[in-house]
Structure 1
Amino acid sequence: MQIDAILFDKDGTLFDFATTWETFACALMMKLAEGDHTRAAQLGEVIGFDLHARRYHPDSIVIAGTPAEIVEVLAPSIPGMTKPELIDMLNHEASKAPQAEAVPLIPFLDHLRGQGIKLGVATNDAEAPARVHLGGAGVQDRFDFIAGSDSGHGAKPEPGQLLAFATYVDVAPEHVAMVGDSTHDLIAGRAAGMRTVGVLTGPAPVQELAPHADVVLNNIGEIPAWLGL
């Protein structure tokens, strides 16, 4: 198996999903509800989030959806704001959400780069908050390619972001590994003709990821051993 490039999902893959996005949902719902806890809980249910338990439902649009998709679901409940205004608020709150690295990212990424592997990020988050998150962890410059759902390549589970990465780093898709915590990531990887690696640092259990993955790992820190590096 020859892997010359690795493309990572961001949330639930490079960063622990719950730490970031549960805090984000609480802050966003309270802001939209102007501090009314009952109203905030109602809005949370619209996007599949239990405000009181601070937990997403398994089918929540936030888990793998784009900001535009989240706003489509949320907008009918917020008649006083336009969709562009909601997207701006969502992206602003997302950029402030705390990040918990799945593993210490700087040594992990530097090890892969030291082996000559090209690295990229493809997220259904918007590109701007994604760059804020990666920059906050001090790793933005470790990636050759960063794309969000608004970067012009489409969004997962479509393979556009993945094929754009392969073209950008000049590596054939069959020599690229797509790493992610959701079926959207893995379905996109299969559609692009890449190897697919599932990780268990997001909401999806192993039995959900396994049918779409060449391998399911506990976290990205196990990738070097999988590659024999």
Structure 2
Amino acid sequence: MHEIEGNVGITRIKGVLFDKDGTLFDYHDTWGPILTEVAVELAGGQGKLVPDMLASIGYRAETGRFEAGSIAAAGDTFELADQWLGLLGRADRDELIQTLDGFFARLGPERSIPVTDLRAFFQAMKGRGLTLGIATNDVAASAEGTILRFGLSEYVDFSVGYDSGYGVKPGPGMALAFCEAVGIEPSGIAVVGDNRHDLEMGQGAGAGLLVGVLTGASAEADLAPLAHHVIADITLLPALLESLAVEA
């Protein structure tokens, strides 16, 4: 577990804002198949375009993974649409964005593979008296559908997507919106995510604790310069918070 200077104690942390994909859900097992299916569907009879479509958003055939910080791993639908418009020979950006968001709102909740029993995890975190939120560069409808599918509605106090009106990561808007909605100062929240965009969002908002996880596209070396701590996955978060409480 990596850590940098400036750790804060749990006595100051009242809320936790989680990224969704790569943090609550295994990124590659979930979004590799989804993005491949969407590319095939959009390519239609031009199946030969699919490898180029996936490569253009960060997929590397030699590793079978998306690169850290790529459009697929950290971007939003606007960036994805802009990357695929030319390859598909289309000019209807707004229509393509709407189509992509429709795919993601349907397939995200259906296909997401959780890194742990999320209902039990969120219930335990809520039992610690923490306010919980989810912030994603995915469409908000996908986040909402996922919350419903995994039975998290009674535990998640706030959720937001790229299209919710608070800007996109790495900007601080989603984290600040969480703070405002739940009445916690930014210094009183932890931001947990699998890529630099998540941590940059938290840093820009003034979050008190930044935690990187390794269930997404990023390696420890990608996250370490920004995170107070880097852990393998969210199941280690309770122990981390306990250790910080002891140190506080």
TM-score by structure 1 length? 0.93
Equivalent residue, structure 2, for 1:40: 50
1:152-163 matched pairs, under 5 angstroms: 152-163=165-176
**Letter in structure 2 aligned against 1:131:** E
Equivalent residue, structure 1, for 2:223: 209
Q: How big is the shift at 1:36? A: 4.0
Structure 1 unmatched runs, 5+: none
Structure showing greater relative contact order (alpha-carbon pairs closer than 8 Å, 6 or more residues apart): 2
Q: Is contact 2:67-2:218 (8 Å) kept?
A: no
Equivalent residue, structure 2, for 1:3: 13
Structure 2 Cα separation of the partners of residues 12 and 32 of structure 1: 24
Structure 1 Cα separation of the partners of residues 140 and 184 of structure 2: 23
Q: Is contact 1:6-1:117 (8 Å) kept?
A: yes
Q: How big is the shift at 1:207? A: 1.0
1:113-192 matched pairs, under 5 angstroms: 113-192=126-205
Q: Is contact 1:159-1:189 (8 Å) kept?
A: yes
SS class of match (2:210): strand
Equivalent residue, structure 1, for 2:4: none
Q: How big is the shift at 1:198? A: 0.4
Q: In structure 2, do the counterparts of structure 1 residues 159 and 200 end up closer, same or farther at CA, with 3 Å as the change threshold? A: same
Which deviations, in whole Å up to 9, do the C-alpha atoms of 1:125-147 show, x marking residues without a partner? 11011211222222133211000
Q: How big is the shift at 1:52? A: 8.7
Q: Is contact 2:67-2:217 (8 Å) kept?
A: no
Which deviations, in whole Å up to 9, do the C-alpha atoms of 1:93-123 show, x marking residues without a partner? 2231411111111111011111211000111
Structure 2 Cα separation of the partners of residues 59 and 53 of structure 1: 16
**Correspondence for 1:85 among 62, 79, 95:** 95
RMSD: 1.8
**Length, aligned pairs only:** 229
Structure 2 Cα separation of the partners of residues 183 and 50 of structure 1: 19
Structure 1 Cα separation of the partners of residues 225 and 192 of structure 2: 14
**Letter in structure 1 aligned against 2:154:** D
Structure 2 Cα separation of the partners of residues 116 and 205 of structure 1: 31
Structure 2 unmatched runs, 5+: 1-8
TM-score by structure 2 length? 0.87
SS class of match (1:204): coil
Equivalent residue, structure 2, for 1:223: 237
**Letter in structure 2 aligned against 1:14:** L
Structure 2 Cα separation of the partners of residues 82 and 10 of structure 1: 29
Identity, % of aligned pairs? 36
Structure 2 Cα separation of the partners of residues 104 and 72 of structure 1: 36
Q: Is contact 2:68-2:195 (8 Å) kept?
A: no
Q: How big is the shift at 1:41? A: 1.5
SS class of match (1:211): coil
